[in-house]
Amino acid sequence: MSGASKTYTDAVAALNDTQSNAATLDAVRASGGRLSQFAIPEMIEYLHRIGYTPEDLNRMNVIHVTGTKGKGSTCAFVDSILRRERPSFKVGLYTSPHLVAVRERIRINGTPISEELFAKFFFEVYDRLSANTKRAHESTPEKPNYFRFVTLVAYHAFLQLGVDATILEVGVGGMYDSTNIVPKPIVTGVTALGIDHVGVLGKTLPEIAWQKGGIYKEGVPALSVAQPEEALEVLRKQAIDRKASEFIVVPDTAALYSIKLGLPGAHQRQNANLAIHLVRTFLANPTIAAKSNRPPPTFDSEGAAPLPATFVGGLQNARWPGRCQTVPDPDPANAKTTWYLDGAHTKESLEFCMAWYVSPGAGLPLYESAPRPMRVLVFNCTAGRSGPALLGGMLEKTASQLQIHHVDKEAAAEDLEGTDDDDLDPNKFFDHVIFCSNVTYADGGYKGDLTSKNVHESDLAKMKVQNELAAAWTALVPSFPKSNIHVLPSIEHAIRTVRGLQTEERPVKVLVTGSLHLVGGVIEVAGLAKVAL
């Protein structure tokens, strides 16, 4: 397949052919993750076949970030700060997954590369792999899988475009991730760790820390946020064993608490703090300092001294669509509908999501006199995750949040006289719940960029996951009206259902969570892209 006359649509179609199917993913789970150990030698082999060596990747000047949660948000903060601190730099950002278009994964100065550039770089990689099929290991597939392929395209794009700095977000894990073939990043960082994100592989927290610490490199500063001691000890040992130049548990930045961050949620303070230290360490590197026409900023991050204006602006203006994002529906016909989008998909990240949503100005009215909104939950999760545990955690967090905001039965008599009793019961917090698949359209088709092959066709046809979620919700909330639990085959069906719930009297507040793929599909089908992305 030559790239001479191929379009972005052709690139997406060819890329979708490289997706791992459900059976392959089942094999990885059954192996306990051992198949991932082939990722690095295979990725290096692919890199050679498209004309690069790992040492070539050092020219990208990499900030490498991993973690269980918050790594995408941390990368967004780093990108936003760095672009303001060094406006002359060309800054590359590689993240995953995407929400609506795969080219979102590869950004230059905050903007996804164009369809034309994505197609150009994609087919240059594709054609080089097709022309050079000689493999060092017989077991290496001729073409890489989806994530590895996009990672190769990102490397190629960044090197061809001559970026001055690159922020690389690890896909999964760290040690065996496809991004982990850069021999010498400028700085590496680990965000918060938890055990649930890779729970399907049966990993313990120390094992997860060992994987994440696999991105630490010889002679490179190794940073981490504060972690549980058992995880921190493993990260510290990884830094020593891998001969990192230093291991730093980043101290708090006092000035952060007077800044309104561009990404909502109290948990973002930790991500923003790590971003501050990553950028500061990056700019102090002699290679980077030599590229700049200005000295690196100096400030006392641990004290009460203010941050440089460039850092403050970066923190305030950081955007990360699909994460704790509030989007008023742009269609005048749906003016009373507000979408609350969060791709949280682990127990802990869903608790953060509920802390954000179950608060005044979001799911709760900002004023006591405001009408009670109709609240709708649209939810899906990946097969293999524990739907009942995720939903149970969400309900528990809802209950605790209602207490925090004095919306419990005991406080009602004193503080909220006249409040609807339904607002006092966490089991009645949502009026409707919708469990739908990640299939984009009602006819069973996907938007090209959102095509997914990682669900067994038989499970999808039977709506297995969605029916299990509905059963779990019924078990958790036996009093919830059965007629208000919707099991639907597509995102388009879900949007139609939400539209049908609109009334003149009550605002509709829709929480979409459990899957970034689901969030992206809702943005596409509900027509939110112009305001959400």
Q: What is the DSSP string of 378-443?
A: EE---BTB-HHHHHHHHHHHHHHHHHHTT-SHHHHHHH-TT--GGGG-GGGS-SEEEEE-S--STT
Task: Give me the percent of the chain exceeding a pLDDT of 70.
Answer: 87
How far from 251 is each of 39, 77, 285, 302, CA to CA, in Å?
Answer: 34, 17, 20, 6
The amino acid occupying position 197 is H
Peptide bond into 97 cis (omega under 30): yes
> In this structure, how many other beta carbons lie within 10 angstroms of the beta carbon of residue 169?
24
69 contacts: CB under 8 Å, gap ≥ 6? 191, 192, 194, 197, 346, 348, 349, 352
Q: What is the mean pLDDT of the chain?
A: 87
Q: Which pLDDT score is estimated for 408? A: 41
Q: Which pLDDT score is estimated for 31? A: 45
Q: Which pLDDT score is estimated for 215? A: 98
Tell me the three state secondary structure of residue 296: coil
Q: Is the pLDDT of residue 232 over 50?
A: yes
Predicted confidence band of residue 488 (pLDDT cuts 50, 70, 90): very high
Mean pLDDT in residue range 397-424 = 59
Predicted confidence band of residue 385 (pLDDT cuts 50, 70, 90): low
Question: E strands of 67-148, at which residues?
Answer: 91-94, 106-108, 111-112
Q: Which pLDDT score is estimated for 424? A: 60
Q: Is the pLDDT of residue 218 over 60?
A: yes
Query: Which residues face 187 on adjacent strands?
Result: 63
Mean pLDDT in residue range 153-168 = 98
491-500 vs 516-525: helix axis angle to the nearest 10? 60
What is the distance between the alpha carbons of residues 205 and 197, in angstroms, rounded to a whole number? 10
Q: Is the pLDDT of residue 73 over 90?
A: yes
What is the distance between the alpha carbons of residues 429 and 408, in angstroms, rounded to a whole number? 11
Q: Is the pLDDT of residue 199 over 50?
A: no
What is the distance between the alpha carbons of residues 99 and 521, in angstroms, rounded to a whole number? 7
- Of the listed ranges 159-168, 372-381, 441-450, 521-530, the least confidently predicted one is 441-450
Nearest alpha carbon to residue 491 among 528, 524, 463, 455: 524
Residue 101 token pair: 């278009």
462 contacts: CB under 8 Å, gap ≥ 6? none
Q: Is the distance from CB of 197 to CB of 231 less than 8 angstroms?
A: no
HEC-encoded secondary structure of 339-391: EEEECCCCHHHHHHHHHHHCCECCCECCCCCCCCCEEEEEECCCECECHHHHH
> pLDDT higher for 301 or 522?
522
The amino acid occupying position 497 is T
- For the chain, give every domain's residue range: 1-54+114-162, 61-89+164-319, 325-532
Tell me the three state secondary structure of residue 330: coil
> In this structure, how many other beta carbons lie within 10 angstroms of the beta carbon of residue 372?
15
User: Strand 187-190 and strand 62-66: pairing?
Assistant: parallel
Domain 61-89+164-319 has CATH 3.40.50.620: no
Domain 325-532 has CATH 3.90.190.20: yes
Q: Which pLDDT score is estimated for 346? A: 84
Q: Is the pLDDT of residue 106 over 50?
A: yes
Q: Which pLDDT score is estimated for 296? A: 81
Q: Which pLDDT score is estimated for 416? A: 40
Q: Which pLDDT score is estimated for 22? A: 47
408 contacts: CB under 8 Å, gap ≥ 6? 402, 424
Q: Which pLDDT score is estimated for 522? A: 95
Nearest alpha carbon to residue 13 among 188, 149, 160: 149
Burial of 137 (0-12, 13-18, 19+ CB in 10 A): exposed
Q: Is the distance from CB of 103 to CB of 175 less than 8 angstroms?
A: no
Mean pLDDT in residue range 397-408 = 78
> In this structure, how many other beta carbons lie within 10 angstroms of the beta carbon of residue 29?
14
Q: Is the pLDDT of residue 200 over 60?
A: no
Q: Which pLDDT score is estimated for 451? A: 72
